[in-house]
Structure 1
Amino acid sequence: MGLQDMIEGKRQWRGHVARVKALPPDYRIVYDEIQRYLFKVGPVGLLDGGLLPELVEFFEESAAAGRGVLEVTGTDVAAFVDDLIKDTPTESGAD
């Protein structure tokens, strides 16, 4: 990975973080918990893929539609995340 790639990656991450901060508080709390979980046991290549940006987009659309975060994830957020990554190899090897 070259210097330009690292700079671009950092720019994209900062944009992503800004989008997360713009979410309603309940969505931010759930997103932060999901992100922590994914960084521990998430799919290999999580940072290279589009899962987190897609999750933010899904949350943005749901919030704009006036839906509560638990309406879209269900009350078992861990099951929601496990369903998102069910077909991907994980860092922990516990597929």
Structure 2
Amino acid sequence: MSISNLTSKVIGDIGDKRRWWQYKARAKQLPANYRTAIEACERYLMYFGSGGGVSLFEDLVDLFEQSAADRTPIREIVGEDPVEFIEAFARNYQEESWINRERERLISAIENAAGEGGKGRAVR
């Protein structure tokens, strides 16, 4: 899958594409070290398959813009484990993600196969 196809899959329709480019313009305006950090987070989220749509990135740039304005050090934003930070951040946006739909589909299929008739367990 090409990066443009991946981007389209992550950001969605035309309205979302406009919001995406607005996010990119805002991120580009950040001071260099904050821009480097947000670009690294973005790259990870693209490969991680965040599924949070554009609102995830908009909120992320909001955080970095406010942090830059307050001169908050990068480590105070992301902590000692940037992977833990960005995955926790992204979890707040995964309600509609494809992985959650697939988890629910897997749970239902196994419950049906086991003769349990879909107990309706919560998706993890």
TM-score normalised over the length of structure 1: 0.74
Match of 2:25 in 1: 18
In structure 2, what is the equivalent of residue 65 of structure 1?
Answer: 70
In the other structure, the counterpart of 2:81 is 76
Q: 1:90 to 1:26 in 2, by over 3 A?
A: farther
The more displaced of 82-91 and 14-23 is: 82-91
Taking structure 2 as the reference length, the TM-score comes to: 0.59
CA contact (8 A) 1:27 1:59 kept: yes
* Counterpart contact for 1:27–1:69, Cα < 8 Å: yes
Superposed counterparts of 1:47-58, under 5 Å: 47=53, 49-58=54-63
Give the CA RMSD over aligned residues. Answer: 2.4
The residue number in structure 2 matching 1:85 is 90
Unaligned runs of 5+ in 2: 1-12, 103-123
Alpha carbons 2:79, 2:85 under 8 Å: kept? yes
Give, in angstroms, the shift of residue 90 of structure 1: 6.3
Query: Residue 30 of structure 2 aligns to a residue in which SS?
Result: coil
Instruction: Tell me, in whole angstroms, the C-alpha distance in 2 between the residues paired with 1:9 and 1:77.
Output: 26
> When you count helix as a share of all residues, which structure comes out higher?
2
Identity of aligned residues (%): 31
* CA–CA distance in structure 1, aligned partners of residues 98 and 88 of structure 2: 13
